[in-house]
Amino acid sequence: MKKKIVVLSGAGISAESGISTFRDQNGLWENHDIMEVASIDGWNKNPVLVLDFYNKRRTQLAELEPNIAHLTLADLEREFNVHIITQNVDDLHERAQSSNIIHLHGELRKACPENNKSKVEDIGFDKIEIGDKMNGVQKRPFIVWFGEDVPMLKQAINTVMTADILLIIGTSMNVYPADSLHDYAPNECKKYLIDPNKIADPNSAFHQINETATKGILIFKDLVINH
């Protein structure tokens, strides 16, 4: 039976494909206060701004491609049972052909009625405008915003609890609820962290790889295949 690798991925893995992160910009995301465009209060206050913001993100995503980190995670499925839990709303893991993906924060290429996130439709790279409706209700991006429940959290926890190998890549794991997910890994689970900025606590259970996602993933692949 293949060993199970559970990957916790975040903005850093997609940044190398050209997707902007907000935590490197003093809390601003494309010159917007993050709470204006990524909170339920922001949506209620100014849905036109929020729709425009995500329409632009969708247009940008259409021009980008998975990078070597996304592709290597997909390639690891040859040797391992790989499950990805991502904080990212892009579809780069899917386009890299990874098979098992949980999106904690929703998906950019999907929409739902503003009053019901259980009804979802694929919209590709199309825009959502004021007046576009599903089930007679205004459409909104299928995104989990600040101030909303995280419906995939329980499934994510259950996945981490069955990991043989845990990899954190491209994320500081500072955003609730992802910040506590690694705590659910079994004691015997081997843990790896790919991050160019952190200095691992000497007492940490994580084997740290101080590289960017695209460089660190190749080191990780060598470690897990050859050891």
Catalytic residues: 105
Side-chain half-sphere CA neighbours of 43 within 13 A: 20
Residue listed under structure tokens 């429940």: 149
Residue 103's closest CA among 118, 90, 117, 121? 90
What tokens does 100 get? Answer: 């098992």
CB 72 within 8 A of CB 216: no
| Dihedral angle computed from the Cα positions of residues 9, 97, 146 and 158, in that order, rounded to the nearest 10 degrees | -70
What does DSSP assign to residue 185?
Answer: S
What tokens does 171 get? Answer: 């994320």
